[in-house]
Amino acid sequence: MLDEHLLGLKIQLVIKVVSSQKFGDLASFEIQRSMEQPLVLQNVSDAHWKFFWSLSLTYIQRNVIYRFITGCIPSRGRLHYMMPTVFDSHNCPVCLSPHESASHLLFDCPSKEKVWQGVIFEFLWPTTTIIDIKEALLSLDFSDIWYSQVKGIRPYRILLITLSQIWLAHMRFVFDNTPLVPEAILVSVRSTVRQTVDEDNIHSLL
Ligand SMILES: [Zn+2]
């Protein structure tokens, strides 16, 4: 099984190749992206960006949400649009439904939906919806998701942990053919939540 660092490098490589082939070179891709960003980023206020950059997150946790907000998740719909000769289908590789979007890859694919439902049931206020979670992540405004069933961890940390574990499981499925099992992702979420609480407890004692 790939470790997280190697998996991250592989993902970066695919994105770089796709970007350079579509736009000719990376420089022109950067220009294209910088033209798109102001519209995409309108949902996030300056205060929420400041809050985000102040958080202590892992590389994967920060990378996935940043990509989601800026529209850079390498979903099959996006990859097919950018490089149709390499990615000949825009279908979801997991459930085969047509046009895998970023939202489908991270939230709406049935296996990912099951993970989010499990996380809501186990960690959050029971009436929280996946739409609420998506909106909070896209705006970095977590004021409506304020309740955590676990002491010692804020709900937004649980959301970021879940998002990164779903992303890792998806990439392992794509690159390693590792089966994508919602229960296994939930085990990883649970373990990372516990580890985060323990680490914060240790830091508070130092
Ligand atoms: Zn799917």
How many domains is the chain partitioned into structurally?
Answer: 1
Q: Cα separation of 135 and 141, whole Å?
A: 8
pLDDT in tens, the chain (206 residues): 445 666 666 656 555 554 444 444 444 444 444 444 445 677 889 999 999 999 889 999 999 999 999 999 999 999 999 999 999 999 999 999 998 999 999 999 999 999 999 999 999 999 999 999 999 999 999 999 999 999 999 999 999 999 999 999 999 999 999 999 999 999 999 999 999 999 888 877 77
Residue 109 Cα to ligand 1 middle (Å): 4
Residues 57 and 94: their CA atoms lie apart, in Å, by 28
* Interval between CA 12 and ligand 1 midpoint (Å): 22
| Ligand 1 geometric centre to CA of 179 (Å) | 13
Q: Is 190 helix (H, G, I), strand (E, B) or coil?
A: helix
Closest to 156 in 3D by CA, of 184, 183, 119, 127:
119
Q: What pTM was computed for the model?
A: 0.80
What's the 202 CA to ligand 1 centre distance in angstroms? Answer: 39
CA 61 / ligand 1 centre spacing (Å): 21
Residue 99 Cα to ligand 1 midpoint, Å, equals: 9
Name the residue range of residue 147's domain.
4-205
Residue 108 CA to ligand 1 centre (angstroms)? 7
